Amino acid sequence: MNIEKEIEIIKERNGRVEADKAWETSWVRRLFIAVVTYGIALWWMTSIGEESAQLKAAVPTGGYILSTLSLPFIKKWWMSMIWKK
């Protein structure tokens, strides 16, 4: 295989990796997961007859959103204190 072809393959792979990373950190992904989490929690709480199901279903959704907001700070700390490469 010639060098130009190998470089092209590496560039294509890097593009896919960058797109995957962008998706993992995107607000679209986070919002989609939050909506699905809320929907499932709401469905479950309604099906078991829970009072104030709409409000209570927001608890796990809010927890998810808060956890995603804290991850960049935790990652930065982890990389500086634990990873140290």
Q: What is the pLDDT of residues 20-29, one digit of tens each?
A: 989 988 999 9
Residue 5 has φ and ψ, to the nearest 5°, of: -65, -40
Q: Give the Cα separation of 62 and 6 in Å (integer).
A: 46
- The answer, yes or no, to whether residue 38 has pLDDT greater than 80, is yes
Comparing C-alpha atoms, which of 32, 68, 40, 33 is closest to residue 56?
Answer: 40
* This model's pTM is above 0.85: no
Check residue 60 and give its pLDDT. 95
